[in-house]
A and B are shown apart, each in its own frame.
Chain A
Amino acid sequence: MRRASIAALFGGMLFCAMTGIRLSAADSAQAGARVALGRRLFYDADLSADGTMACATCHEQKHGFAEGNRAHPGVTGEAGRRNVPGLANVGRRASLTWGDPTIRTLEAQALVPLLGTHPVEMGMLGKERELPRRLGANPCYRALFRAAFPDEKGVIDVATVTRALAAFQRTLVSASAPYDGLAKGALPAGRRVFAARCASCHSGPDLTDDRFHRVTDVQPADRGLGEITGKPADDGKFRTPSLRNVALSAPYFHDGASPTLAAAIERHEGLKLKPEEQKSALIFMELLTDHAFVTDARFAYPDGPCEVTPDGA
């Protein structure tokens, strides 16, 4: 294996710092290479059929790695079905996606946009062999795959691509919002409203219980959890979204049909907040914006040199 560079070692330190996992120096360098590789792949549109869509096309850092549109069409022009969720602290989620509790790892989730057909997003189903062809043409990728996956001899395939993407996403930790600085027990008005009216679902450090609930009318076009379980009782249930950076990620709900936070609050059936309660809740949700997270250069487009010595250099 080529000697990992300082950048890759810093990547390993980032991985350890963000995930809390302690690693040996060698494993840290490998983890760092995996994070660096995942970051490059996250921003690389060669992961889509026609080279037009990267993960970052929809997951934009300035929106907390969500998007400002209702949904995003895929490479074939098929309309997006669901709103793009943010990725802050996504490594802590018990399950991924809006409606499928069986997708429990980021590696498995990555297959949804990459190979999924309902709808087609990046459109790589049947084109998996394009990944080693395209990525393998890049000397930096070849070296990074070897540094990140020495046991697999640096093979470039769907498995190593999704593992690297997952490693990068696990470093997307948000813990610097004003909300995180509130003293324990401090209860500004909005937090009191949340505790009393919203915390049955929006609970925990990321304001989600990671469970599935129906809070608005069932739409036949998207049955949510019911599509997976086949149980009519699960129709219209969707996973409680994290509210980290929620003020940056309009529009809201699984269908992106609520253009503002106020509209999203009002869409919760049975939740009738008084005007002053709603105002307090909106102020509280602004406290969940982590400006350090959405401007953190470690998560941004990788403009710098290759993190390891590229092949042939």
Chain B
Amino acid sequence: MTVTKLLIFLTLALAVPAVAQESDPQGDAKCGATPAVPPAEYAAWSSAQPVKAATSAESADAALLAPGKALDLALVPTPDVKYAVRPEHPGGSVSSGGLTAVRIDHAGTYRVGIDSGAWLDVVADGKSLESVGHGHGPACTGIRKMVDFRLEPGRYLLQIAGNGTPKIRVILAVVPGA
């Protein structure tokens, strides 16, 4: 896929308001063993820092996800997670989940990318924010799902629910020009 085609695809995929979070595991089935280099705005994807996910809002600052950074989160069993807001699609008892804190200094649209199809919520003041777009990640980079949120400066919680494995890679990217 050329860069132009990729950008057109992402623009189309993310232009529609999110009504359901979508992921595309099949994109990776056609890829080689070595992941493709992600576009510049997702450069941090390749240098994710290992962090243990928080199990509650109170402990979330220990797992901070900053814009332009990526984390390799060690999740915990879903029954051990105390979500601030019940996820719309909570995982079963055998799934994994967790939380991170997010600090935003500049208003804008931010994109959360993950390497699985887990359910994502960004929570502020006890409420889950409505996402403004969703789509698949750039082909063959390992970014399977992306969800966009419009955020004002402040502290947020990122809730990850219903992951099929105890590990997840997550990136927070700024959406340029949005």
Residues of A at under 8 Å CB distance from B? Answer: 44-48, 50-52, 54, 56-57, 60, 62-63, 67-69, 73, 75, 77-79, 130, 134, 137-138, 301, 303
CB distance from B3 to the nearest CB of A (A): 25
Q: B29: CB under 8 A from chain A?
A: yes
Please, which residues of chain B bring their CB within 8 A of the CB of A51? 78, 91-95, 162, 164
The smallest C-beta distance from B36 to any residue of chain A, in angstroms, reads: 18
Q: Is the interface of A mostly helix, strand, loop or mixed?
A: loop
Q: A45-B90, A45-B92, A303-B86 are contacts. A50–B164 as well, Cβ < 8 Å?
A: yes
Q: Is the pair A46, B19 in contact by a Cβ cutoff of 8 Å? A: no
Tell me, yes or no, whether B26 is within 8 Å of chain A by CB.
yes
CB contact list, B156-177 vs A, under 8 A:
162-165
Option from B23, B29, B92, B94 in Cβ contact (under 8 Å) with A54: B92
Q: Mostly helix, strand, loop or mixed at chain B's interface?
A: loop
Report B-chain residues with C-beta under 8 Å of the C-beta of A77: 25-26, 28-29
Of the A-B pairs whose beta carbons lie under 8 Å apart in the complex, a sample of 21, sorted by A's number, is A45-B90, A45-B95, A46-B93, A50-B94, A51-B91, A51-B93, A51-B94, A51-B162, A52-B92, A52-B118, A52-B162, A54-B89, A67-B20, A68-B19, A73-B23, A73-B117, A79-B25, A79-B26, A134-B94, A301-B88, A303-B86
Please tell me if B61 contacts chain A, counting CB pairs below 8 Å: no
A215–B164 Cα gap in the complex (Å)? 39
> How many Å lie between the Cα of A203 and that of B164 in the bound state?
42
Digit string of B122-135 for contact with A (CB within 8 Å is 1, else 0)?
00000000000000
Q: How far is the CA of A303 from the CA of B157 in the complex (A)?
A: 22
Contacts A68-B20, A75-B164 aside, 12 further interface pairs with beta carbons under 8 A come to: A45-B162, A46-B92, A48-B92, A52-B91, A52-B118, A52-B162, A54-B92, A56-B89, A60-B20, A77-B26, A134-B92, A134-B93
Residues of B61-119 at the interface with A, using a CB-CB cut-off of 8 Å, are 78, 86, 88-95, 117-118
Asked if residues B93 and A137 are in contact (CB atoms below 8 Å), the reply is: yes
Question: How far apart are the CA atoms of A67 and B89 in the complex, in Å?
Answer: 13
CA distance A46 to B94 in the complex (A): 7
Question: Contacts of A73 on B, CB cut-off 8 Å?
Answer: 23-26, 117
**In the complex, what residues of B have CB within 8 A of residue A75's CB?**
164
Residues of A within 8 Å of B86, CB to CB, are: 301, 303
Number of A-B contacts (CB under 8 A): 67
Considering only CB atoms, which chain A residue lies closest to B165 in the complex?
A50
Residues of B within 8 A of A45 (CB): 89-92, 95, 162
Q: Which residues on B sit within 8 Å (CB–CB) of A48? A: 92
Cβ–Cβ contact A69 & B20, under 8 A: yes
A56→B22 CA distance, assembly (Å): 14
Report Cα–Cα, A134/B20, bound state, in Å: 27
* Residues of the A chain whose Cβ atoms lie less than 8 Å from the Cβ of B117: 52, 73
A259 to chain B, nearest CB (A): 10
For chain B, residues 21 to 80, give those with C-beta under 8 angstroms from any C-beta of chain A.
Answer: 22-26, 28-29, 78
Contact A63/B19 with A51-B78, A134-B92 known, Cβ cut-off 8 Å: yes
Q: Among A47, A52, A54, which residue has the most Cβ atoms of chain B within 10 A? A: A52
Residue of A nearest to B89 (CB): A57
Chain B residue with Cβ nearest A84: B20
Which of B19, B29, B92, B164 is in CB contact (< 8 Å) with A44? B92
**Which residues of A lie under 8 Å from residue B118 when comparing CB positions?**
52
State whether A52 and B19 are in contact (beta carbons under 8 Å apart), knowing that A46-B93, A57-B89 are contacts in the complex: no
Residues of B within 8 A of A303 (CB): 86
Q: Specify which of B20, B29, B86 lies most central, judged by the most chain A CB atoms within 10 Å of its CB.
A: B20
What residues of chain B lie closer than 8 Å to A57, measured between beta carbons? 89
Q: Are A52 and B93 in contact (CB under 8 A)?
A: no
B78 contacts across to A, CB distance below 8 A? 51
Nearest residue, chain A, Cβ from B116: A52
Residues of B contacting A68 with CB < 8 Å?
Answer: 19-20
CA distance in complex: A50, B94 (Å): 6
Cβ A69 vs Cβ B94 within 8 A: no
Contacts of A130 in B (CB 8 A): 94
Smallest CB gap from B21: residue in A: A69
- Bound together, the chains give a CA A68 to CA B94 distance in angstroms of 26
Supposing A73-B117, A77-B29 touch, asked if A50 and B95 sit within 8 A by C-beta, the answer is yes
Chain A residues with CB below 8 A from B89, complex form: 45, 54, 56-57
